[in-house]
Structure 1
Amino acid sequence: MTEVWKPSVTVAAIIERGGHFLLIEEHTSEGLRINQPAGHLDAGESMIQAVVRETLEESAHDFTPTALVGTYLTRYVSARTGESATYLRFAFCGTVGAARNQPLDQGIVRVLWMSREELAACPERHRSPQVLQCIDDYLRGDRVSLSTLHVHASALTSGIK
């Protein structure tokens, strides 16, 4: 049987307040890195549900998406192991609520608020090149209506393989 190529679908939250962006610092196989609150789309959830869940789990903040900033396809190759993976990232902007009093997801060290300039000054600490690209696209005003995202009810059932 021929192997089917399947990129990993991820979501990310672009959250700005007063010229600073909500970011997380996390342990990765490549060391301590900075990223937006982000993670994988799970079976039985929409991309909107996924980005709301991931933002809460990783930053302890409620998030209400208002627009899609962009989609990003990238191939990651581990400098440590040489293993590779392809990611299809959907980045959303929106409004953020107050911080909740709850633990952060495993591997998350802390929540940071950084300006675009502060983030650009440390590219070696970014989880991926998309961290800064998503912010630049957001600052440029890239927005797509959430109404363009369609989810059939069959995708929202649990137990999907």
Structure 2
Amino acid sequence: MINYQGSSNKKITVLNETKQMQDIYHNCSELKIVQKVVEDLVVVVVVVVVVVEVVVVVVVVVVVVVVVVVVVVVVVHLIVVTVDAVVEVVVIIVNVVVEAAAAAVVVAVVVVIDAVAVVDVVIVVVEVVVIVVGLVVVVVVVVVDVAVMDVVEAVVLLLLLLLS
């Protein structure tokens, strides 16, 4: 309490001001407690945000690694399929050449042995043509089949990659 010389109204005013100052001090201490709680909550929120960001970065890295692995697998698969198709075509061409050469030898032997039988020669030539045409058809069918299946398989793999 403050000793104040003067009228009683002034004493009451001083007492009221003292009471107001005590209320302000009390409110300030409560505000400091609230401020401390808010600061602690801000620290917790910052820690949670940092943890979430770290988890997001880890998830992004995992997704990137998975995408890279899928792309590498698709590229390797396409290379293997292409090499396989080329090898199949080469084998088919070699078989056609060998069979055509064998057929030519057979035709030559038949012509020499059966020179008189022109009909036999015509039949052999027709058989050779049928064999060659058949082999060409087989080559075309196999090449088209391999190419179409490889393209379909590549498109499906790329769609799976895009959808994942």
Q: Highest CA radius of gyration, 1 or 2?
A: 2
Judging by fraction of residues, say which structure has more helix: 2
Asked if TM exceeds 0.5, the reply is: no
TM bucket (normalised to shorter chain) is under 0.3
Q: Which has the higher contact order (CA 8 A, sep 6+)?
A: 1
Judging by fraction of residues, say which structure has more strand: 1
